Amino acid sequence: MKSYDVIIIGSGFGGAMAAKPLVDAGMKVLMLERGDWVKRSVEENWGSRGSIDLSPYYDKSSLLHVPVGGNKPTMGLYSCVGGPSAFYGGVSFRFREADFEKNEQIEGKDAQGWPIKYNDLESYYTQAEGILNISGETDTDPTEPRRSAPLPQRAPPLANISQKVKASAQKLGLHPFQLPLAINYEDTNRQTCLSCKTCDTFACAVSAKNDLATTVIPQLMAKGMELRHNMVVTRLNVVNRRIVSVECVSKTTKQQHIFKADKFILAAGSLGTPHILLSSGLQHYNAGGHVVGRYLMRHLNAIIFGVFPGVADKEGRFHKQLAILDYYFGHPKAPAFNKLGSLQQMSTPPGSVVENELKGVLGKMLSPAVKLLSGLLAIVEDQPQYNNALTINTAFSDEFGLPRVIINHSYSDRDNAAMKVLTEEGKKIMKGAGALTHYVHKIRTFSHAVGTVRMGLNENTSALNEHCRFRGIDNLYVTDGSVMPTSAALNPSLTIAANALRVGELITKLN
Ligand SMILES: Cc1cc2nc3c(=O)[nH]c(=O)nc-3n(C[C@H](O)[C@H](O)[C@H](O)COP(=O)(O)OP(=O)(O)OC[C@H]3O[C@@H](n4cnc5c(N)ncnc54)[C@H](O)[C@@H]3O)c2cc1C
């Protein structure tokens, strides 16, 4: 049997970015991914069934059961080469320096903060921004962390509606700035952004989004990385505290495969990684194994939609352009909070998606109204809570032999109170921008899920050490969003990418 230096499970941010330093160092790397390549064509990606939950890349073959906290009692997995990056909004924030520090208000009395600090990640943030060719604006946001290099691309011009939102926020004394985005605006060797209406939640038909399947993964394969897609990993086998092999089932042939390597990286996402760890029984080798699946965070998100007749509907453009972080570390009128969250413009879904989601007369009535809307997404940092957990029920298994996943998640009183303060400020901005009225839409998806296999310095309260090595197993690392001890109030992908680059580089230096 062929053996590899490193096997990586999952091709999302954690997997692809950890692979980069390994492949660059000439190591023999196999990546296993349960999803398929996303097919690209205008009809496939930008049609009414292109949005991720309606597309074939929303994999329902291993349904996750969500008795508490979800939109629906069961949900699927975002599964494709590059993970949900193919469908994501491209917002690529660095966490702020203080996000890595202890905060008793967020973490409770036993606050531990992160075992690594902002400065440990700074150079990897710079690398990740370069790899993903991030556009944006620096030097305006008062919370902006130290950076050692400018962003590689300038921000594109603002749409009319964005100019109105910016002017309104400035009138309130705030400092709006352009969102850091993984979208191609300047490289004319590739298709540049067309500012269409089908970006966030859609794959880019013209490959102008710098997602991992467009940029990083093909480059890694050209350098020799082997990718096996449609391969569902079911188990990691351990002998003498080392993983010796990984078992998987091909989605297409249903045949079992076993692969061997010297080292293993789990990057199946914050829901997929604890599922594999628990079904392999690896928590029993780890002093902090009881936290596997626990401290699940997903941000508390809501969209403040403003109704802008005669403005939003005249705009053919992508409205996801501005961020306002002035209330990130609190609000003068709500001194009880030392952290609140971020406000970001959000693109509205096309009418066809609303019609698909809300079946029948309601969908038909509401879909034409969507073009009158422009949205501000409020992201609140949610508290890591032990009881917010992913567990497994081995009495039931799916067609691949993976046990059933059960997810229970509730927001804390603090999470909800912080959201109230932030949405009130969002409404003021939308009103000042000329919105006739507003509507607040709560989001209950797990698209920003993080934290289920957290890293830390205390071996009894964290499953990973500061190098993201799984305690108790010598050759197993985790590099996806599950490593995060806290969620910050910013989109997670760039931090996952930076940390994965750090851990990948570290593995190249081991013997
Ligand atoms: C619609 C949408 C929009 C988003 N927009 C943004 C944004 O603008 N900015 C931002 O920062 N974040 C955004 N996110 C969140 C972001 O995509 C995630 O935080 C990020 O992708 C998580 O990276 P990861 O490496 O932890 O896992 P993932 O990217 O989820 O990768 C995990 C991979 O592992 C694979 N996998 C799972 N189980 C198995 C198994 N058993 N065997 C083999 N492979 C497996 C999955 O198929 C997947 O490809 C968005 C998410 C969604 C859904």
DSSP assignment of 140-181 = --TTPPP-SS--SEEPPPPPHHHHHHHHHHHHTT---EEPPB
Quote the CA–CA distance of 254 and 261 in Å, as a whole number. 23
* Distance from residue 272's CA to the centre of ligand 1 (Å): 10
Quote the CA–CA distance of 54 and 292 in Å, as a whole number. 30
- Taking Cα atoms as reference points, which of 284, 248, 185 lies closest to residue 400? 248
pLDDT surpassing 90 at residue 34: yes
Hey, which bits of 326-368 come out as E strands? 341-346
Give the residues surrounding ligand 1 with Cβ less than 6 Å away. 9-14, 32-35, 52, 78-79, 83-85, 87-91, 200-201, 232-233, 267-270, 272, 276, 447-448, 480-481, 491-493, 496
Q: How far is CA 188 from CA 59, 184, 193, 322, 483, in A?
A: 35, 9, 10, 24, 37
What is the reported pTM? Answer: 0.97
* Confidence bin at 511 (pLDDT 50/70/90): low
Across residues 129-147, what is the average pLDDT?
97
pLDDT surpassing 70 at residue 363: yes
Residue nearest to atom 41 of ligand 1 (CA): 233
296-310: pLDDT as tens digits: 999 999 999 998 887
Q: Tell which CATH classification among 1.20.120.140, 3.50.50.60, 3.30.1330.10, 3.40.50.720 matches the domain 3-41+52-508.
A: 3.50.50.60
* Distance from residue 268's CA to the centre of ligand 1 (Å): 8
* Distance from residue 148's CA to the centre of ligand 1 (Å): 27
Residue nearest to atom 1 of ligand 1 (CA): 201
425-459: pLDDT as tens digits: 999 999 999 999 988 989 889 999 999 999 999 99
So where are the chain's domains? Answer: 3-41+52-508
